[in-house]
Every structure is written in structure tokens, then in C-alpha cells.
Structure 1
Amino acid sequence: MPGQLEPRLLATLEAVVRLGSFAAAADELGYTQGAVSQQIADLERRAGLRLLDRRPVRPTAAGTVLLRAEEAVRAAMTRARTELEALDAGLSGEVRLGAFVSAAAGIVPPALAAFRRACPGVRVTLSQYETEDAYQRLLRGDLDLAVTFDYSWFPLPPPPGLRRSLIGRDPVMVALPARHPLAGRASLSLADLAGEAWIGTPVTGPQLGPLAELARSAGFQPRLAFEGDDFRTVLQLVAHELGIAVLPALALTDAVDGVVARPIAEEPLVRFLYCCRIDTAGAPAIVTRLETRLTEAAAGLPLPS
């Protein structure tokens, strides 16, 4: 029968797997590498099974079971800490906020400015994380609040244990060179653009199929590849007349000369914006107040022209 499985040992296992090495886990946890090795060996003795393959470092089936247990323990402790903090209605302390890149640039600054005026005694730290990473960091207790997103045609529900609230709708638009023959139109049909040189973005990369279906075309044939989350680079490629792109409006608020943005004529494509936090009976007042400011900032975003 397995022996007592201590949360401390489970946390060491999680760090080794997440970071991919005993040495990196030792640096993060403040242990020696030898101490980490001893803790993993102790955990394997208690479990009665091998938990890790060493080269490369990856969990065995038994290790995966314990990693799920570690995640559940950490999420439970995060919920407990959050509910305890919610019992204190004070407006001091720290909020750890995460946001994806375009939200960090377009939504967060006005929200933090308004929040600071209302709650000058609260310190807010901001880190940039994409949605799935932000979800895991919320569950781990590394963040208190996160701005996340998904798309109307590509939903990404949060994992169990998180509460998500809709704060805004970010319409997806077509970015094209200002001298493009279609630039003068008020809106653009995807079918008219199917034969263009498409610059791949996180919006279109894995989801060209649904866009093609919406356009009722045989499918898009992107002739210029760009992979990554750097919307600024995409806009520069468009400005230099190397292709067109589909981007959320929030990514288009930082105007680039030589680029125009037009709405899509078919069924609207939307990126949904959310505030997400750990799902608890209550939340600290400073967290809910920041959530309110983020909602207000998202509602006040201007659409590009």
C-alpha cells in the first residue's frame, strides 16, 4: 500500500516535470539538486512505483496520477487563501494580474490608472500570459486575476475550479493595405478575399477551415507564412503590401500607416474577452474592484477605422 504522500513532495515532483530537470527545480524551490533527488526518491518509495523517466525527464503513468493530485491540492489551498482574504474588506495589499499581449497594451493601462486613483494603497503587478498559461497560473495560485479570451468559432472553456466573466466583445476585422483595390469598401466579404495573399496569424493559423466555410469558398490559400503572436509584425507586413490579415480590433488600435481595417460582411467573428479568477464563495474586495475597472476599460475601447 502507498505510504503518506506529503504535499511538499508532490510540489517538488510538479516542479521537476514542469521545468524539465532536477537542477531547474532545485533553483526554483531553493533546494540543492541532491535534495530534490532525495525528495523524488522518497516520494517513489512512498508511492511504491517509479514516478519519473529521467532522460528526458517526464512523468510515468503513476507520476501523472500524482501530478493531478498536486494540482488539486494546490487549487484547494488557493481557494482557501482567497476566501480567507475575502473576509478582510480592506483596500490594501497586492493583486497579481495576468493578461495576454494586446489586452495588456489596450485594456490594462486605463484600468490600472482608474484603479490606482480609487485604491492608492494597493500594489498591482502585471505579467503577460496567453490564455491557457494564465489558467494554469490561476490554479497554481501564481495569479489573482487574469484577462483571457477565446473566439466565437473556437471556444476554449476554462478548466474546472475557475470562474470566468465576460467583459467585452472584440470584433475580428480584416487588415489590408491602404492602397488595396477593396480598401474603399465599408465592409469586406471573406469570399472576395479568399484568393488574396493571407498573412497567417494566431486568428487564422489553425482555424482557416471555419473561415473558409463561413465565406462559402473552396478554402483559403495563404501564400505568405507568418507564425507567432506578434500582431505588430503582421501589421507591418500588411503595410508593405505583402498580404492581408484577419485580426481582432484590439490588436488594431495601435495604428500603422498604410493599413486600414474593415469589418467582415458575413456573420460577425468575435473574440470574447474575459476576467478570470479562482472559483470561490467570495473574492477579496481589491480583486473585484480591479475586475470592475477592467470591465469598464474593455467597454470603452474604440474601434479602428
Structure 2
Amino acid sequence: MDPHLLRTYVTVARLASFSEAARELGYTQSAVSQHIAALEQDLGAALLTRRPVAPTPAGTRLLEHASPLLLRLDAARAEVIRMAAAPEQGLTLAVAPAALTRRTAEALPPTGVTLSVLPRDEIPAAVATGAVDLGLVDGLAAPNDPLRLPDVAPLTARGVGQEPVAVLLPADHPLARRSGLRLDDLVDARWLDAPATGVPLAQLRAAGGTSGFRPALRYDGTDLRTLTTLAAAGHGLTLLPRSVAVGVPGTVAVPLTAPRVVHRTELLHAGALRGPAAALAARLDVTRS
């Protein structure tokens, strides 16, 4: 299967338009049509309906395979280029909003760092494809257990640290005076759905073994201050690492006592560490997960 044809197909399916796909890819519309026809001939199946442009059942199934296949090709290309290139003097680092602790920030080189805050789900792909040298991701885990990360490409995950988690409540919330909270107590509470910033509700459901934790408001940004402001205003609860939750004006951070989970942070990289990336890992004294 020709990856060039596959990329064209994915673009057409995403944009639902041959002409828009041609514009994005820099091809003529005729070339895009020829790519799709060639791929359909190769697979012996119709992949798209034309009016409207939409995947057929076979095309939908191909899309499920296409993204990880293309990502792995991009990751392989990036790793080979990295191996052949001279070590860079700078360092590019992608971090999830709650993953950058003070300890990690203090370990960064004084100059030459480019830091990007990304939704945690985007960071593994950014590392795999060489968009950044390193990634810092976070999430809920049992103490000393590794995070469950998407299998986008061969990546190495190294534990950076873990800390207790706390439920962020408005100061006047009925549960704010508690010394600790169980996740079972909060199944029917109003929650902030902030998958890129707070602990995703899917992780809460998995930890609690329930389908509860209904969202009251969804926040799709990556700014922690916005998330904590929403919590302080009573729009919903959120679960955060204790170091982030404590001291937010207008809120109370109540420790989560059960189940026994922690906020874990891991450093991601592809291939062997070199240059400033290796130096940062050494300063953090991380160990392979």
C-alpha cells in the first residue's frame, strides 16, 4: 500500500472534500482523484462515496489503521534523521499542563530551551515524529506503576516523579470541610471535563469502576489557571496533583484517600538520548519505567 496514496485518502476523508484536500496537499484535484482511484483499485474496495464525500464501511475501517501506520512511518523517518544528524545545542520540550513541576523546571538548561504546553494525548506523537526532543506526560496511576500511554510508536518512558492528588472544591462546597474524600463519594458530583488539563473523567471512571462522573462543563484549553478559576466559581470539581491544587484562591484542596492513586509524571523520548536531552534526563535522575 503506497503511503502517499494513504495520506491523500486520510486528508480527503478528514476534509470531506476532494478540492479542499488538493489545496491542503498542494496537488491538483485531478491528482487527488487519481490517488483515491489507485488506492481503491489496489485494495479492491470502494473507500469513499462521492456525493457527499464520506468513507464507506471499508473506508472507515481503513481510517482506523491509517493514522497509526502513517504516524509510525513519520516516527521511523524522524529517528533515522536524528541518528544521522549532529547533536543539537538546543532542547525542545512538550509538557502537559500539570506535568511541569518546580523540580523539573529547575533542571532545565538556563538557555536554549523551547517549551510547548500541549494536551497530554498529543505529546507521544510529537515526540515520536521528532516535533520535540522530549515530552512530559502525566496521569493517574497506582503508586510506582507506569502510565498507560497510547502505542503510537516505539518510545521510552522514564519516571520523573509522583505525588498525592487532591479534589479541588469551591471554598463553600458542602464537602470542603472534609479531611479526605473517597472517589466513591463523588460519583454523582458535578465535574469539570478538562481532558487536556485536569485528570480526564475517563481515568476517574476507570479508577472508580463506574460510569458516573458526569460533566457539568467542558474545558478544552491547556491553561491551569482557567481550570482552577472554573472550579472556584462552582462550575464543577476537578482532580489535580496536590502541589497544583493547594493554595488556589477561593478553593479548598481535599486529599483523595481512596482508591490509592497518585499523580505520576513521565519523561518520553524516542531513540537514544543525546546532548541537552541526555543532560536533562541525568539531572532529573530518572529511571526507565
TM-score (norm 1): 0.66
**Structure 2: stretches of 5+ with no match in the other structure:** none
* CA displacement 1:127-146 (0-9 Å, x = unmatched): 52331x33344445544433
Matches within 5 A, 1:19-98: 19-54=15-50, 55-58=52-55, 60-61=57-58, 64-65=61-62, 68=65, 71-72=68-69, 75-76=72-73, 78-86=75-83, 88=85, 90-92=87-89, 95=92, 97-98=93-94
SS in 1 for 2:45: coil
Instruction: Tell me, in whole angstroms, the C-alpha distance in 1 between the residues paired with 2:120 and 2:15.
Output: 18
Instruction: State the shift of 1:173 in Å.
Output: 0.3
- Counterparts in 2 of 1:155-234, with a 5 A limit? 156-159=148-151, 160-179=153-172, 183=176, 187-190=179-182, 194=186, 197-202=189-194, 203=199, 205-206=201-202, 209=205, 225-229=216-220, 232-234=225-227
Distance in 1, Cα, partners of 2:213 & 2:45: 51
Task: Count matched residues.
Answer: 275
Deviation at 1:227, TM superposition (A): 2.5
- Deviation (angstroms), 1:47: 3.6
Residue 288 (structure 1) aligned with residue 275 (structure 2): no
Distance 1:63 1:48, change over 3 A: farther
**Cα distance in 2 between the residues matched to 1:74 and 1:196:** 39
Mark the structure with the bigger radius of gyration: 1
Counterpart CA distance in 2 for 1:81 and 1:241 is 45
Q: Tell me the distance in 1 between the aligned counterparts of 2:201 and 2:261.
A: 15
Alpha carbons of 1:127 and 1:238: their partners in 2 closer, same or farther (altered >3 Å)? closer
Gaps of 5+ in 1: 298-305
Partner of 2:137: 148
1:257 paired residue number: 249
- Selected match of 1:110 from 87, 105, 109: 105
Tell me, yes or no, if structure 1 residue 266 matches structure 2 residue 258.
yes
Measure the CA separation in 2 of the matches of 1:287 and 1:207: 30
Match of 1:239 in 2: 232
Query: Structure 1 or 2: larger strand share?
Result: 2
Q: Percent same amino acid at aligned positions?
A: 28
CA RMSD after TM alignment: 4.3
Q: Is the 8 A contact 2:231 2:237 kept in 1?
A: yes
- 1:12 maps onto 2:15 in alignment: no
TM-score (norm 2): 0.69
Instruction: Measure the CA separation in 2 of the matches of 1:6 and 1:220.
Output: 44
Q: Is the 8 A contact 1:86 1:284 kept in 2?
A: no
One-letter amino acid matched to 1:34: S
